[in-house]
């Protein structure tokens, strides 16, 4: 089967894409919930806070490094087999985490879970775009990425609550059960879609030589360094507004997550209507404006809450359209790879933001400097996206070109 789904598949794309969104919810919850469980894990395993922090870092690093590798290795598999395998790896990794009695084994289990998350996430996005077809690609991608955002709003707090009540192992088992249920649902309900099996490994790697793909990746990197700088250090940047009250900080996180989910969903529809590049330019410009306005709200909780709502909306209006852009340039069999590259780049931006933020905090007199630096990265992302307009054709342009070639081709 080719990269484009058959007509009868696109007719049922919404319920099937919803299942993929639930899988993204499980993957996202696994990545977020561990942060709230680190003190309990450190106490159980008798290791330092720095050591337990590596459980988060190794998951993100494995995700970033293995996403494109696994997408290439499993390129000839059906999407159903690939997605189920990813969830199985995620579930097994979490089961080992919950059962392990040593730090080394827990660390190794996070590697396995990260590999499963990497395998599932990129393929879920690519599969959603295949199921929905070209006209609804943006909406389908936004549904899947909304599952990840929703994990920030519901999954991570719920998992943390379970961990507080019944121990951190119970929270890990919670994610394991979710992954198992969704794996069964995908195996039963998703058709065995296959990408073009005639494509060689070199052909699947061809997007890395496409300047348009590299520009999309550059935008993703710049944008997500900017997005995660204030998010990662929210407690420091808005300490005056929260007064160090954890409940107020949690409220800001909740507000951010709710509006991030809305931004994810609405940006997909806007991308279908106006084109994904236009949405990315508008979103990254909005990010820069909101971050600069935040400089005036660091001591006012009510204003900070309003700005976090705006921030969540614009910040998470980027990833869906970026996935839309990059999958449009994939060759036959290459959609999972380019999608994986984009997600890996977003995770790299997340990792880079923590390093840059730490440098700012250690070399300046105020955490407020994080905001203009983040705005600068967002502006850079917007400029790169704007500058790519001359070399970037929309999916509609590509479709029209293919139609023209078909209509003018001589009869055999």
211-232 helix and 276-294 helix, angle to the nearest 10 degrees: 30
Tell me the sheet residues that pair with 78.
194
Region 23-37 average pLDDT = 79
Nearest Cα neighbor of 237 from 367, 363, 360, 366 is 367
Question: For the chain, what is the HEC assignment?
Answer: CCCCCCHHHHCCHHHHHHHHHHHHHHHHHHHHHHHHHHHHHHHHHCCCHHHHHHHHHHHHHHHHHHHHHHHHHCCCCEHHHHHHHHHHHHHHHHHHHHHCCCHHHHHHHHHHHHHHHHHHHHHHHHHHHHHHCHHHHHHHHHHHHHHHHHHHHHHHHHHHHHHHHHCHHHHHHHHHHHHHHHHHHHHHHCCCCECCCCCCHHHHCHHHHCHHHHHHHHHHHHHHHHHHHHHHCHHHHCHHHHCCCHHHHHHHHHHHHHHHHHHHHHHHHHHHHHCHHHHHHHHHHHHHHHHHHHCCCCCCHHHHHHHHHHHHHHHCCCHHHHHHHHHCCCCCCCHHHHHHHHHHHHHHHHHHHHHHHHHHHHHCCCHHHHHHHHHHHHHHHHHHHHHCCCCCCCHHHHHHHHHHHHHHCCCC
Question: Which is more confidently placed, 260 or 294?
Answer: 294
Contact by Cβ (8 Å): 97, 106: yes
d(CA 13, CA 10): 5
Q: What's the confidence (pLDDT) of residue 405?
A: 39
C-alpha R_g of the chain? 21
User: What is the per-residue pLDDT across 120-129, written as a single tens digit (0 to 9) for each?
Assistant: 887 887 787 7
Q: How many residues belong to the chain?
A: 412
When pLDDT is cut at 50, 70 and 90, the band that residue 184 belongs to is very high
For the chain, list the domains and their CATH numbers: 1-197 (1.20.1250.20), 201-392 (1.20.1250.20)
More confident residue, 79 or 308: 308
User: Does residue 397 have a pLDDT over 60?
Assistant: no
Q: Check pLDDT > 60 for residue 188.
A: yes
118 pLDDT band, cuts 50/70/90, is: confident
Average pLDDT over residues 167-177: 90
Residue 81, burial from CB neighbour count under 10 angstroms (0-12, 13-18, 19+): middle
State the average pLDDT for the chain.
Answer: 80
Write down the pLDDT at residue 403. 44
* Backbone dihedral region for residue 359 (phi beyond 0: left; psi -120 to 50: alpha; all else: beta): alpha
Give the mean pLDDT of 369-391.
Answer: 90
Q: Which residues of 58-68 are buried (b: 16+ CB within 10 A; e: fewer)?
A: bbbbbbbbbbb
- Name the token pair of 269: 């529809």
Angstrom distance (rounded) from CA 142 to CA 112: 27
Q: According to the model, what pLDDT value does residue 135 have?
A: 66
Question: 200: pLDDT confidence band, cut at 50, 70 and 90?
Answer: low
pLDDT in tens, 37-54: 767 788 888 887 657 767
pLDDT of residue 91: 94
> CA separation (Å) from 54 to 58, 111, 169, 330?
6, 11, 18, 34
Q: Tokens at residue 98, please? A: 């919950």
Q: Report pLDDT digits (tens) over 266-285.
A: 998 898 888 899 999 999 99
pLDDT at 412 over 50: no
The pair of structure tokens assigned to 179 is 């992954």
- Structure tokens given for 41: 């894990």
């Amino acid at each position: 089967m080719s990269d484009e789904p058959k007509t009868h598949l696109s007719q049922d794309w919404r319920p099937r894409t919803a299942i993929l969104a639930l899988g993204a919810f499980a993957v996202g919850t696994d990545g977020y919930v561990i942060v709230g469980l680190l003190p309990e894990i450190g106490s159980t395993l008798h290791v330092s806070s720095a050591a337990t922090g590596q459980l988060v870092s190794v998951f993100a690093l494995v995700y970033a490094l293995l996403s494109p590798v696994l997408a290439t290795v499993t390129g000839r598999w059906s999407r159903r087999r690939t997605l189920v395998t990813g969830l199985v790896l995620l579930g097994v990794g979490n089961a080992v985490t919950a059962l392990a009695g040593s730090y080394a084994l827990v660390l190794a289990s996070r590697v396995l879970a990260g590999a499963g998350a990497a395998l599932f996430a990129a393929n879920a996005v690519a599969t959603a775009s295949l199921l929905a077809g070209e006209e609804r690609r943006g909406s389908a991608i936004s549904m899947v990425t909304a599952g990840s955002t929703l994990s920030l709003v519901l999954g991570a707090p719920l998992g943390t609550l379970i961990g507080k009540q019944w121990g951190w192992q119970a929270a890990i088992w919670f994610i394991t059960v979710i992954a198992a249920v969704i794996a069964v649902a995908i195996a039963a309900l998703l058709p065995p879609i296959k990408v073009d099996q005639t494509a060689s490994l070199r052909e699947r790697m061809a997007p890395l030589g496409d300047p348009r793909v590299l520009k999309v990746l550059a935008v993703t990197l710049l944008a997500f360094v900017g997005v995660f700088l204030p998010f990662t250090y929210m407690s420091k940047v808005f300490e005056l507004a929260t007064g160090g009250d954890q409940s107020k900080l949690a409220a800001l996180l909740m507000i951010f997550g709710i509006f991030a989910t809305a931004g994810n969903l609405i940006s997909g529809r806007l991308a279908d209507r106006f084109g994904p590049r236009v949405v990315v330019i508008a979103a990254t410009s909005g990010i820069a404006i909101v971050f600069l306005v935040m400089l005036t709200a660091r001591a006012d909780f009510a204003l900070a809450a309003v700005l976090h709502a705006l921030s969540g909306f614009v910040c998470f209006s980027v990833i869906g359209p970026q996935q839309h852009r990059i999958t449009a340039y994939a060759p036959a069999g290459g959609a999972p790879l380019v999608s994986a590259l984009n997600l890996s780049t977003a995770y790299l931006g997340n990792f880079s933001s923590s390093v840059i933020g730490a440098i700012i905090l250690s070399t300046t007199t105020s955490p407020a400097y994080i905001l203009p630096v983040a705005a600068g990265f967002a502006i850079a992302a917007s400029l790169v996206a704007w500058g790519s307009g001359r070399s970037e054709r929309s999916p509609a342009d590509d479709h029209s070109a293919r139609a023209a070639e078909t209509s003018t081709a001589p009869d055999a």
